[in-house]
């Protein structure tokens, strides 16, 4: 098949999922065209069957801001025509699915017998739970969902939220996030990485996110604060975003700065996960939580909240612990339980790897292939 993919190129789960899916489809012989503002952060170097088309929105003094969504629609229409795309897969209802919808109208307008692509939309979370819930965007998200030929959500939780908030006309299929366990595994030799991070024999906690309020960085820091009072530990903070500066102030004011490393945005997180003993992810409403699955693939147990998509793939007392939102006391108690019991940690770590294998990219890419085939055959 010839598949166009449009996604956010920035550091985050949806871009990672879209890019890894594109790469896996290309490996299986499909031709994949990324149509984006910038190359997605995990795309890497040239690879057979993958093409990248950059969308440039015009900067003109009369316009207050460039019309990216319109430029994207025009580019999708162009690529669909010249490359004869079977499917355009939009990751996020807005702007990608809306732009693809508009692209389709452009094609219908320009040539009535043009063979048009089918529109697949994957909902990742924020477009439903935050943006779509805002009245200014609600109608746009609903239209994008209803005009897509097929819609997937990354968890049962997100599917339920979509149905509750938008009452879509068609079915929403759940295809969960996935991980390539051939790339995400615990590296056996970590001495050099530990040296680079100036780690001694202490326990290592990790948090990876875009530091948005939903990630509750303050809960990460408070949990770690209690941990480091009891055991020798370092916290690796990977990523960047609006709450980072405040977090830097907090660790200084609370006297734990020497135990916390702000590493910024790092694409290859496997070496960091390989030296980690525990992931802290106390988010308030994660539609899936890809970073947790990637940590589990590297044998890192997780402390997460008991909400959103987490309970669908993380077993409480098996792969880590699911704790009520904001209960940092319980989070640190459970973290310490794991960090101070080697045998228990080993069992959890093994369970995590086994669980991550159930979400191997090979399995999930097949589900996407079946989904695309159905859309094309339904035409
Ligand atoms: O979590 C973020 O803020 C990034 C966001 C994105 O758009 O990249 O992640 C969303 O999509 C991921 C991939 O499907 C999910 O694993 C994340 O849980 C989801 N984030 C939220 O729901 C907050």
Q: Is the CB of 17 under 6 A from ligand 1?
A: yes
Architecture of domain 191-357: 3-Layer(aba) Sandwich (3.40)
Would the pLDDT of 109 be above 80? yes
- What is the average pLDDT score of the chain? 93
Bridge partners (DSSP) listed for residue 344: none
Question: For residue 10, which atom of ligand 1 is closest to its CA?
Answer: 8
The structure tokens listed for 199 are 């780690």
What ipTM score was computed for the predicted complex, to two decimals? 0.97
Question: Helix 13-27 and helix 290-297: axis angle, to 10°?
Answer: 60
Q: Is the CB of 288 under 6 A from ligand 1?
A: yes
Q: Is the CB of 290 under 6 A from ligand 1?
A: yes
Would the pLDDT of 111 be above 80? no
| Residue 290 CA to ligand 1 centre (angstroms) | 7
Q: Where are the beta strands (DSSP E) in the chain?
A: 2-6, 31-36, 50-54, 87-91, 118-123, 150-153, 172-174, 203-208, 233-238, 260-264, 278-281, 302-305, 320-323
Taking domain 2-178+360-378, whether its CATH number is 3.40.50.300 is answered by no
Which whole number is the average pLDDT over 310-315?
Answer: 98
Would the pLDDT of 113 be above 70? no
Q: Is the CB of 214 under 6 A from ligand 1?
A: yes
Residues of each domain in the chain carrying CATH 3.40.50.2000: 2-178+360-378, 191-357
Q: Is the CB of 210 under 6 A from ligand 1?
A: yes
For residue 208, CA distances in Å to 128, 290, 296 come to 22, 10, 13
Handedness of CA 92, 76, 136, 169 (dihedral sign): negative
List the one residue out of 72, 68, 288, 269 whose CA is nearest residue 184: 269
Handedness of CA 231, 333, 319, 24 (dihedral sign): negative
Taking the C-alpha atoms of residue 57 and residue 83, their distance in angstroms, rounded to an integer, is 21
Q: Is the CB of 13 under 6 A from ligand 1?
A: yes
Would the pLDDT of 373 be above 70? yes
Nearest-10 Cα torsion for 52, 57, 59, 65: -130
Q: Is the CB of 22 under 6 A from ligand 1?
A: no
Q: Is the CB of 177 under 6 A from ligand 1?
A: yes
Contact 157, 283 (CB under 8 A): no
| Residue 13 CA to ligand 1 centre (angstroms) | 5
Q: Is the CB of 155 under 6 A from ligand 1?
A: no
| Residue 106 CA to ligand 1 centre (angstroms) | 31
Q: In what order do the strands lie in the sheet with 278-281?
A: 260-264, 233-238, 203-208, 278-281, 302-305, 320-323
pLDDT tens digits for 217-229?
999 999 999 999 9
Q: What percent of the chain has pLDDT over 90?
A: 83
The structure tokens listed for 231 are 């055991």
Contact 300, 277 (CB under 8 A): yes
Per the listing, tokens 């106390």 go with 282
How do beta strands 50-54 and 87-91 pair?
A: unpaired
pLDDT tens digits for 261-294?
999 999 899 999 999 999 999 999 899 999 999 9
Q: Is the CB of 212 under 6 A from ligand 1?
A: yes
Contact 364, 178 (CB under 8 A): yes
| Residue 282 CA to ligand 1 centre (angstroms) | 14
| Residue 286 CA to ligand 1 centre (angstroms) | 7
């Amino acid at each position: 098949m010839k598949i166009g993919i449009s996604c956010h190129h920035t550091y985050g789960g949806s871009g990672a999922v879209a890019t890894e899916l594109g790469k896996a489809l290309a490996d299986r012989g499909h031709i994949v065209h990324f149509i984006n503002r910038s190359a997605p952060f995990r795309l890497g170097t040239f690879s057979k069957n993958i093409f990248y088309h950059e969308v440039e929105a015009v900067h003109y003094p009369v316009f207050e801001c460039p019309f990216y969504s319109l430029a994207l629609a025009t580019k999708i229409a162009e690529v669909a025509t010249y490359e004869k795309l079977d499917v355009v897969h939009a990751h996020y209802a807005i702007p990608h699915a809306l732009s693809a919808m508009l692209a389709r109208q452009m094609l219908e307008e320009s040539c009535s017998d043009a063979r048009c692509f089918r529109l697949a939309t994957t909902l990742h979370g924020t477009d439903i739970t935050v943006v779509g819930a805002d009245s200014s965007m609600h109608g746009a998200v609903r239209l994008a969902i209803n005009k897509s030929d097929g819609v997937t959500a990354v968890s049962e939780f997100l599917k339920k939220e979509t149905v509750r908030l938008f009452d879509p006309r068609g079915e929403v299929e759940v295809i969960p996030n996935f991980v390539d366990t051939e790339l995400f595994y615990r590296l056996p030799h970590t001495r050099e990485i530990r040296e680079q991070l100036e780690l001694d024999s202490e326990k290592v906690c990790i948090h990876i996110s875009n530091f948005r309020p939903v990630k509750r960085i303050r809960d990460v820091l408070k949990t770690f604060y209690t941990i480091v009072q009891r055991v020798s530990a370092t916290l690796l903070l990977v990523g960047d975003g609006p709450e980072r500066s405040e977090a830097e102030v907090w660790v200084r004011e609370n006297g734990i700065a020497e135990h916390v490393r702000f590493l910024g945005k790092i694409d290859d997180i496997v070496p960091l996960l390989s030296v980690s003993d525990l992931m802290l992810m106390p988010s308030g409403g994660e539609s899936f939580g890809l970073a947790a699955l990637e940590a589990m693939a590297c044998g890192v147990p997780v402390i997460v909240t008991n909400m959103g998509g987490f309970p669908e793939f993380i077993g409480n007392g098996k792969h880590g612990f699911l704790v009520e939102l904001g209960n940092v006391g319980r989070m640190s108690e459970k973290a310490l339980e794991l960090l101070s019991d080697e045998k228990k940690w080993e069992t959890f770590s093994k369970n995590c790897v086994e669980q991550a294998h159930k979400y191997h990219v090979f399995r999930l890419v097949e589900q996407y292939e079946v989904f695309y085939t159905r859309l094309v055959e339904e035409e």
